[in-house]
Amino acid sequence: MKIRLNEPAFTDREMLFADAGELKAYIFRYESGICAVKIENSKGYITVLPFDGQMVWDAVFCGRSLKMQTSFDMPRRREIFRDTYGCYVMHCGALAMGCPSPEDDHGHHGELPYVRYDRAFVVSGEDEKGRYMGVTGEYEYNRAFGSHYMARPVARVYEGSTLIDVGIEIENMASHPMDLMYMCHVNNAPEPGAEIFQTLAWTKENMVVRVSIPQYNEPDPAFMELLDRVQKDVSVTRVIGEGDVYDPEIVLFLRGVQGDENGKAHFLYMHKDGSADYTTYDAAVLNRGVRWMVNHKDWKSMGMVLPATAEPEGYLAEKEKGNVRILPGKETFRADVTVGCLAPEDARRIKHKIETVMK
């Protein structure tokens, strides 16, 4: 099933849009006027912005909201994502990505984060994982004498599952090659004392601390002391302790992420109640990663892994590193990331898998 969404149908009253037994889709409009689709199963729900970046604005499973805590109480119509930044998952790219240097000519994380989608749909069906319902859409970028591509993201929820499949296709519609950079920006909520487990070695070679500070941040001496501690021992970032302040942010480049027998990377954020936030993906497709951590009175985010094709230092720096991919004409890039939360028993199982991979 694939049903097109039309903006005039969205009102401030939540309405049932599609019903497939356990799986249901509701549509509504925030007070700010932004359209939203809530996809619900027996375990919880996700809220997707179908026309505004196809962001997964929120995900509520395991009895809690999984998304970061910010000063934004709802999405708003703005020109850039940083003026409405409170989501759980955001697509970044596709021609450029990361924090631009003064010499770069692209926006922060590229054009995709908060772009207006041309078409949006609710989809449902069944695959090897079971019955699902989700949101997808199409955004066509077409610049005269420049690049021409179609982005098709999707966010799916399955029956009885607390996990979300987030994917994207980027089709080069031109006959000539295009630059490609992509990041799946996953923003979990931190908990003091929660611990990260990962299929990545805790070494300075595998976790490289970014020492440059974005133009929009003004660090203080306490932050510089924290940055120095993390540079000396990256395992400091395994746990955010009570009272630890990450202001403005700690960013690490994750290099050499290992896959399991199926090539899947695993990142687990174990909470004190035994449940865990979880991210898994194909480490060969998204062969770069980022950790983004913020923890102060106004903002709290544990971006334990942002799977990507490049690091987030902007187009020119990443091109110099060899991290800008070339997508041939008429070809399509595909990436899939599974995110969400795990009950204690499932979290222990994934923790054991990680330990097995890292032996």
Which residues, 6+ apart, have CB-to-CB distance to 154 below 8 Å?
A: 123, 134, 135, 136, 165, 166, 167, 168
Residue 277: φ, ψ to 5°: -80, 150
pTM higher than 0.85, yes or no?
A: yes
What pLDDT is attached to residue 215? 58
What pLDDT is attached to residue 245? 86
Residue 144's CB: how many other CB atoms inside 10 A?
5
- Burial readout 173-203 (b: 16 or more C-beta within 10 A, e: otherwise): ebeeebbbbbbbbbbbbbbeebebbbbbeee
What pLDDT is attached to residue 80? 84
What pLDDT is attached to residue 81? 83
What pLDDT is attached to residue 214? 58
Whether cis (ω within 30° of 0) applies to the bond prior to 343 is: no
CA atoms within 13 A on the CB side of 173: 15
CA atoms within 13 A on the CB side of 31: 3
Q: Which CATH architecture has domain 2-358?
A: Distorted Sandwich (2.70)
Amino acid, res. 190: P
Q: What is the DSSP string of 243-272?
A: T--EEEEEEEEE-S----TTSEEEEEEE-T
Cα–Cα distances (Å) from 151 to 112, 280, 326, in that order, read 9, 22, 16
CA atoms within 13 A on the CB side of 30: 19
What pLDDT is attached to residue 290? 98
Supply the Cα-derived Rg of the chain in whole angstroms.
20
Amino acid, res. 175: S
Which residues, 6+ apart, have CB-to-CB distance to 322 below 8 Å?
A: none
Q: Give CA 68 to chain center in angstroms.
A: 11
Per run of 10 residues, the mean pLDDT along the chain (length 359 residues) is 98 98 98 98 99 98 96 92 93 97 95 97 98 99 97 99 99 99 98 98 97 67 87 95 87 98 99 98 98 94 98 97 99 99 98 98
Which residues, 6+ apart, have CB-to-CB distance to 262 below 8 Å?
A: none
Which residues, 6+ apart, have CB-to-CB distance to 303 below 8 Å?
A: 68, 185, 186, 187, 188, 290, 291, 292, 293
What pLDDT is attached to residue 287? 98
Contact 338, 185 (CB under 8 A): no
What pLDDT is attached to residue 243? 81
Amino acid, res. 135: V
The domain ranges of the chain are: 2-358
